[in-house]
Amino acid sequence: MMTEAQKLDAGLPYNFWDPEVDARKLHAVRLCRELNATPMEDGEKRTALIGRLFGAVGAHPTVLPTFSCDNGRNIRAGDNFLANYNVTILDIARVDIGDNVMIGPGVLIATVNHPLSPKGRRAHLGIASPVRIGSDVWIGGNAVILPGVTIGSNVVVAAGAVVTKDVPDNTLVGGVPARPLKTLVNDLGD
């Protein structure tokens, strides 16, 4: 029989109040609290804390307060990663982030969902689906990225958008739910 953490890792419904699952959250809460309390002027310590919190991180990460996550170790970010103020990443499942990604203030990236039925919610069930974000992506303030979404490279997610479906490369998306608004080119004209 599988433990709840094994179910979670396998992408199966799991009990989110299980002590082993909860221990992952508590680890993240402790490191987030330490990171958020460290002065921005102490870049070396902040970078070291980001390295301890995330599963992997490239060169030059910037994570502004107040940052929150569910695990931390499931976040893998490339070079020049920026998480602006009040970003939350519910990384029960993997969140893979490419190079040169800017996440605006108040953004929520969620990998966890719950049953629609009250019976399933009363059973404290969660189901996790990974999120993937390509390189050269800008996610505008207060946007929401839902579980299982893949965002391509050279994408802009407009402020306040709710991304419920995959976004192809070179696309500006916006709205609730987010939809393609424009094809983007990689030049200095925009």
Segments in the chain forming alpha helices (H): 4-9, 19-37, 43-53, 118-122
pLDDT for residue 13 is more than 70: yes
Q: What is the pLDDT of residue 185?
A: 86
* pLDDT more than 70, % of the chain: 98
Pseudo-torsion of CA 75, 33, 31, 126, nearest 10°? -50
CB 96 within 8 A of CB 116: no
Active site residue 114: yes
Nearest to 69 by CA among 96, 89, 86: 89
What are the tens digits of pLDDT across the range 81-96?
999 999 999 999 999 9
Q: What is the pLDDT of residue 186?
A: 74
Which of these is catalytic: 27, 60, 114, 124?
Answer: 114
Of 8-12, 77-81, 146-150, 184-188, the poorest mean pLDDT is in: 184-188
**pLDDT band at 162; cut points 50, 70, 90:** very high
For the record, the structure tokens of 134 come out as: 């390509």
What are the tens digits of pLDDT across the range 45-104?
999 999 999 999 999 999 999 999 999 999 999 999 999 999 999 999 999 999 999 999
Q: What is the pLDDT of residue 106?
A: 98
What are the tens digits of pLDDT across the range 145-161?
999 999 999 999 999 99
Task: Name all domains of the chain by residue range, CATH numbers in brackets.
Answer: 4-183 (2.160.10.10)
Q: What is the pLDDT of residue 189?
A: 59
CA distances from 103 to 58, 98, 130, 142, 155 (A): 16, 12, 17, 9, 12
